[in-house]
């Protein structure tokens, strides 16, 4: 892999989600220094039921516009959320920022937007929420895209955005390798990672390993290859670790993915 592009596949993980919503992602080349993708969730039915949106931990902080509840928040997940329930009539627009990008853009510690909702208006008091939600959904998507462009305008990627891509290209075997690469003490690394990513070095390493496993498995390659890459000598350990992150065994995921 070159650029880090984490996998979010709620439409595969939960059949009820795929029946209720259309999930789509859009890459914006002009924004690629800070943005992984723009995404949207739109209802497919008139059902009033509640559906699980399984959000896989990916190290990212997203800016999310909840069109039904008329709120916009920054939010990241330190671990997979299996119980993120949404109304089947909900509409969402999101911007998946690269790991490290939230702090680079806002100068706010990433930990303040991890595992919690950080309202956009606390970051940008000039944002007109009422005018935004007065737009149609399609108009709001375009306005949202333009807003992201304005947020990152004239900004340069931080060393921690670059570092994450470097770690992704050559995933370390241990956290000690991260410390050596950065030339900081373990305590300094911990502090800088929490500030820039909202996560510890160990959590970042776990996310990178797991996301690479997802990339391989969804490309149709064998689970044995995944085990070899990350030195999983014990198959049971690999399966349990994988299931903890996604709720499925590697084989179950492959079956679901190939049946789409």
Confidence of residue 96 (pLDDT cuts 50, 70, 90): very high
CA distance 236 to 90: 39
100 contacts 196 by C-beta, under 8 angstroms: yes
- Specify whether the CB–CB gap between 96 and 57 falls below 8 A: no
Whole-model pTM: value is: 0.93
Residue 233: band (very low, low, confident or very high) from pLDDT cuts 50, 70, 90: low
> Can you say whether the dihedral through the CA atoms of 237, 242, 243, 245 is positive or negative?
positive
| Exposure letters 117-136 (e unless 16+ CB within 10 A, then b) | ebebeebeeeeeeeebbeee
3-class DSSP assignment, residue 192 = helix
> Which of 112-116, 180-184, 233-237, 242-246 is the least confident region?
233-237
How confident is the model at residue 230, as a pLDDT? 61
Tell me which residue has tokens 């570092």: 163
- Residue 153 pLDDT exceeds 50: yes
| Residue 251 confidence (pLDDT) | 85
Q: Is the pLDDT of residue 1 over 50?
A: no
Q: What is the pLDDT, as a whole number, of residue 228?
A: 64
**Euclidean distance between CA atoms 150 and 89, whole angstroms:** 30
pLDDT at 241 over 50: yes
The CATH number of domain 159-258, selected from 3.40.50.1000, 1.10.3720.10, 1.10.10.60, 3.40.50.1010: 1.10.10.60
Query: Of 31-35, 51-55, 83-87, 181-185, where does mean pLDDT reach its minimum?
Result: 181-185
In this predicted structure, what is the pLDDT of residue 223? 60
Token code pair at residue 120: 């956009």
Mean pLDDT of the chain: 91
Closest CA to 31 of 167, 146, 196, 164: 146
For the chain, give the percent of residues with pLDDT over 70: 93
Residue 161 has pLDDT above 60, yes or no: yes
Which region, left, alpha or beta, applies to residue 42 given φ > 0 means left and ψ of -120 to 50 means alpha? Answer: beta
């Amino acid at each position: 892999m070159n650029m880090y592009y984490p996998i979010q596949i709620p439409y595969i993980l939960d059949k009820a989600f795929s029946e209720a919503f259309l999930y789509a992602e859009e890459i914006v080349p002009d924004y690629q220094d800070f943005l992984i993708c723009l995404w949207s969730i739109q209802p497919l039915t008139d059902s009033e039921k509640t559906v699980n949106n399984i959000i896989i931990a990916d190290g990212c902080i997203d800016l999310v516009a909840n069109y039904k509840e008329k709120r916009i928040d920054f939010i990241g997940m330190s671990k997979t959320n299996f119980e993120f329930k949404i109304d089947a009539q909900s509409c969402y627009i999101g911007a998946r920022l690269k790991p490290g990008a939230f702090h680079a853009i806002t100068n706010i510690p990433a930990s303040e937007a991890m595992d919690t909702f950080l309202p956009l208006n606390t970051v940008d008091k000039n944002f007109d929420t009422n005018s935004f939600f007065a737009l149609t959904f399609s108009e709001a998507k375009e306005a949202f895209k333009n807003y992201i462009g304005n947020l990152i305008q004239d900004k340069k990627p931080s060393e921690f955005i670059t570092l994450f891509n470097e770690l992704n290209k050559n995933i370390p075997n241990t956290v000690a390798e991260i410390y050596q690469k950065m030339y900081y003490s373990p305590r300094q690394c911990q502090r800088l990672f929490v500030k820039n990513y909202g996560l510890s070095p160990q959590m970042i390493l776990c996310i990178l390993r797991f996301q690479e496993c997802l990339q391989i498995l969804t490309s149709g390659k064998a689970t044995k290859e995944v085990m070899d890459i990350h030195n999983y000598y014990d198959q049971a350990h690999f399966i349990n670790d994988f299931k903890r992150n996604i709720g499925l065994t590697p084989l179950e995921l492959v079956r679901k993915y190939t049946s789409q």
